[in-house]
Amino acid sequence: MNESSPIAMLSQEHEAALEKIRTIELSLRGFAAGPTSGELETARNLWASFDEFRRLLLTHFRKEEEGLFPDVRQMVSEGAPRVDILSAFFAEESDDDLKAHTLLRARLKELAVLMQRAKAAEVLDEDLASSMQMSVNLTQDLLARHADKETRLVFPMIARLLSPRHMAAILNRIGAVSSAADVSSPSNEKR
């Protein structure tokens, strides 16, 4: 797969998001081990990691929803050229992907609330740490399944369906989403 292809870029973002949530999960394990003299600094790092994770994931979703899926939807719409069993199957998969995006956005909102509670208290008590750990684990599992399915099934299917011209247009739209995300507020959540 071409490193500058939109499919390669989106797959790399999956890996970056998974790595970031692993870092968050490991930080939370540190809190579960008990308070330390650097707890406040560790908490600040945790909040910064979460903000970075949230921005990355929300921007990634926009890249797929605004940059990638429009061409695919047009291709699989009724009467579109090259509609075959592969594209009909993809239509179902893209709906499933959008549902996963919705679920992951809900997980991010829940985590944001928990992070804000921890930030306001400036400590991470055992109950809050436990709630955060459970929420992070659920988010991590959902993201891992979603990323694996897209990377192994959906993205290769798209690469077969779309022409180089479509891929170039997708790359341009993804670039526009990236540029817009760079100047927007970190809390700018779509949908």
Q: DSSP labels for 161-179?
A: HS-HHHHHHHHHHHHHHHH
In a domain, 190, yes or no: no
Residue 64 maps to a domain: yes
How many distinct structural domains can be found in the chain?
Answer: 1
For 89, the domain range is 6-183
Instruction: Give me Rg for the CA atoms of the chain.
Output: 19
CA 140, distance to chain mean position in Å, is 10
Q: Is residue 126 part of a domain?
A: yes
Q: What is the pTM of this model?
A: 0.81
Residue 188 lies inside a defined structural domain of this protein: no
**Dihedral over alpha carbons 154, 169, 187, 30 (to 10 degrees):** 40
Residue 27 lies in a domain: yes
Q: For position 70, what pLDDT does the model report?
A: 79
**What span, in angstroms and rounded, lies between the C-alpha atoms of 95 and 98?**
5
Structure tokens of 156? 């290769």
Encode the chain (191 residues) as per-residue pLDDT tens digits. 455 789 999 999 999 999 999 999 988 876 655 555 456 566 677 888 999 999 999 999 999 999 988 777 776 665 555 555 555 666 666 677 888 999 999 999 999 998 888 777 766 677 888 888 999 999 999 999 999 999 998 888 888 878 888 889 999 999 999 888 776 544 444 44
Provide the CATH number for the domain around residue 129. 1.20.120.520
Query: Per 3-state DSSP, what percentage of the chain is helix, strand, and coil (rounded to 5)?
Result: 85, 0, 15
Angstrom distance (rounded) from CA 132 to CA 116:
11
> Is there a domain that residue 75 lies in?
yes
From the CB of residue 61, how many other CB atoms can be counted at a distance below 10 Å? Answer: 23
